[in-house]
Amino acid sequence: MNQREHICLLLLAYTANEGFRKGMIDLTAPDCGLSEERQSVLFDAPFNGIPIRACFTDWRNDVAEISLAAWPSDEVDRWVKSGNAKHNAGEVAAFGWLDRSGGKLRIQNPFDPSVFISKHRRSELLKLPRLTDLEDPLHLYPRYLSLSSAT
């Protein structure tokens, strides 16, 4: 896993867990019909002193969108819903999909991240600790990655 993948997966996993804890993400909510407009909810999910604004979009075919902006811009609520927000949303922007099919929740395509990271924030993000079981009760950050990097 490269640094970008790690940062994206860590932030998405943390944010999804925080949304679940705050009641913003309902894992058992029914799917949105194909003809229905998907609704989005915005919420704050600060992590180790880093301000994060997140967006969760309703389930459809057991998949939901999740996106976030760390160190958000003044226009974050307008841009965080976009899968390609880049610096418009904040100094860091990440986008992914939660998949609940097969009875197991996971982040789809964790090794194909959609993430924008301002160069001056990369080293700060790489210093973030791995998620604990308390921070990641949904086990979205793959455990084998946490174990393989433990020293």
Q: What is the 3 state secondary structure string of 49-97?
A: CECEEEEEEEEECCEEEEEEEEEECCCHHHHCCCCCCHHHCEEEEEEEE
The structure tokens 């991240």 sit at 113
**What's the average pLDDT block by block, 10 residues per block, for the chain (151 residues)?**
88 96 92 85 96 94 94 93 81 94 85 84 93 92 60 37
Go through 30-52 and write b for each residue having 16 or more CB atoms within 10 A of its CB, e for each that does not: eebeeeeeeeeeebebebeebeb
**C-beta of residue 128 within 8 angstroms of C-beta of residue 48:** yes
pLDDT tens readout for residues 138-148: 999 987 665 44
Compute the Cα dihedral for 22, 98, 59, 65 and give only its sign: positive
Q: Note the pTM of the prediction, 2 decimals.
A: 0.89
Give the other-Cβ count within 10 Å of 121's Cβ.
16
Give residue 67's pLDDT: 94
Give residue 127's pLDDT: 93
Give residue 148's pLDDT: 46
Q: What are the tokens at 126? A: 């790489």
* Euclidean distance between CA atoms 124 and 138, whole angstroms: 25
Give residue 145's pLDDT: 61
Enumerate the domain spans of the chain. Answer: 3-29+40-149
